[in-house]
Amino acid sequence: MVSCRVYLFTYKRNHLLPRAVESLLKQTFQNWVCELHNDCPDDPYPAAYVESLNDPRFIIKTHDVNIGATASFNLAFAGCTEDFASILEDDNWWEPTFLEEMITLMENNPTLNISWSNMNLWQEKPGNEWQNTGNIIWPADTGKTTFSWPAEKQVLGAISSNGAMLYRGKYAPHYLIPNETIFDVMELVRERSFEHPIILNHKPLANFAITINTSRSNDPYPWIASQTMLLASYVEASGNNATTIREALASHRKLQPSPIANFFLANLFLIKQRSLYRYFSLADWIIIGKWLIRNGHKLNYMKTFLASQKETYSFLLKQTRLRFQELKQKNR
């Protein structure tokens, strides 16, 4: 019988953990095992709570030391003997048919290794109150969308969601990322390692919590620098292909606020090909100039940050080259 390993990660969110666990217990698909990882060694609550359930399907792993979000999530990609694996974060929760419907989707698409569902967005209010925003990540319907590499959003971002993803256990080690990767862009970096196509179920089967307190940084510059890495690896892995560069520029000229400055930063710090500048229009240079006037004082900071992320950039470059190789083979 098909089985699934669920990796549940928690860190100092004891008021939210039971909601996530209860959503797992209520799944219509019950042939699962849950590996609960507590990244706060001094917090006895997660282990005590799960032990009180007296359910042998739970495996409790309290980390000896705090290893951080990226290293913790990498544990979900060590590989497992179960057919499928999924990640449940302590602040998120699933609809009762999440596992059943997503496993059925994967069984009906045996050549695909990655799938994810739509998500409802909930806003945390003071006093552990939650408001349904009425918003979802993707248009909601009963359909499915299969994405081939590259989807437009993948140049600077990702389209999948950790908290609503199902993947084949035997391929999980393919998706390990460097532990140095900052939490803010963990999903974006990991997606570059996914074999395409990947498939989205538009039905909202999971719930994403917009919490009052978050591990994500309020500093915009690590995010900008990380997007610079994504863009640079995309351009460089394409072989500085003129069509690829023009298409990427065209799609990002449409965005507001414009991220065109990322193209300049990607070339300045990582690609280092003066010929790239010939693709910039006068309007692009005006946007870049305005960005530099406002943010030029942070260039040394970004240079230092990118130097600390060499392993992540090497990973991005290697995986993005693999994705472009897949594309070439497909088009032969």
Q: What is the pLDDT of residues 68-99, one digit of tens each?
A: 999 999 999 999 999 999 999 999 999 999 99
218 pLDDT above the threshold of 80: no
Of 111, 98, 31, nearest to 326 by C-alpha is 111
Q: What is the pLDDT of residues 274-303, one digit of tens each?
A: 999 999 999 999 999 999 999 999 999 999
Reported as a pLDDT band with limits 50, 70 and 90, residue 258 is confident
Q: What is the CATH number of domain 4-210?
A: 3.90.550.10
Q: What is the pLDDT of residues 234-247, one digit of tens each?
A: 999 999 999 999 99
Q: What pLDDT was estimated at residue 219?
A: 87
Which residues lie below 8 Å from residue 245, measured CB to CB, with a gap of 6+? 235, 238, 276, 279
Give the C-alpha separation, 306 to 5, whole Å.
35
Q: What pLDDT was estimated at residue 215?
A: 63
Q: What is the pLDDT of residues 138-179, one digit of tens each?
A: 998 889 999 999 999 999 999 999 999 999 999 999 999 999
Output the pTM of the full model: 0.93
Reported as a pLDDT band with limits 50, 70 and 90, residue 262 is very high
Question: In this structure, are residues 88 and 20 in contact, taking their beta carbons and an 8 Å threshold?
Answer: yes
Question: In this structure, are residues 73 and 186 in contact, taking their beta carbons and an 8 Å threshold?
Answer: yes
Q: Where are the domains of the chain?
A: 4-210, 220-331
The predicted model gives 206-232 an average pLDDT of 88
How many C-beta atoms surround the C-beta of residue 202 within 10 A? 17
What stretch of H or E contains 62? strand 58-62
Q: What pLDDT was estimated at residue 272?
A: 94
332 pLDDT above the threshold of 80: no
What type of residue is 228?
Answer: T
Phi-psi region of 40 (alpha: psi -120 to 50; beta: other; left: phi over 0): beta
22 pLDDT above the threshold of 70: yes
Q: What pLDDT was estimated at residue 196?
A: 96
Q: What is the pLDDT of residues 116-132, one digit of tens each?
A: 999 999 999 998 899 99
Of 8, 324, 314, 317, nearest to 149 by C-alpha is 324
Query: What distances in angstroms separate CA 270 from CA 150, 265, 276, 302, one per listed residue?
Result: 21, 8, 12, 11
Torsion from C-alpha of 38, 71, 59, 54, nearest 10 degrees: 30
Q: What pLDDT was estimated at residue 111?
A: 95
Give percent of the chain above pLDDT 70.
Answer: 98
Q: What pLDDT was estimated at residue 223?
A: 92
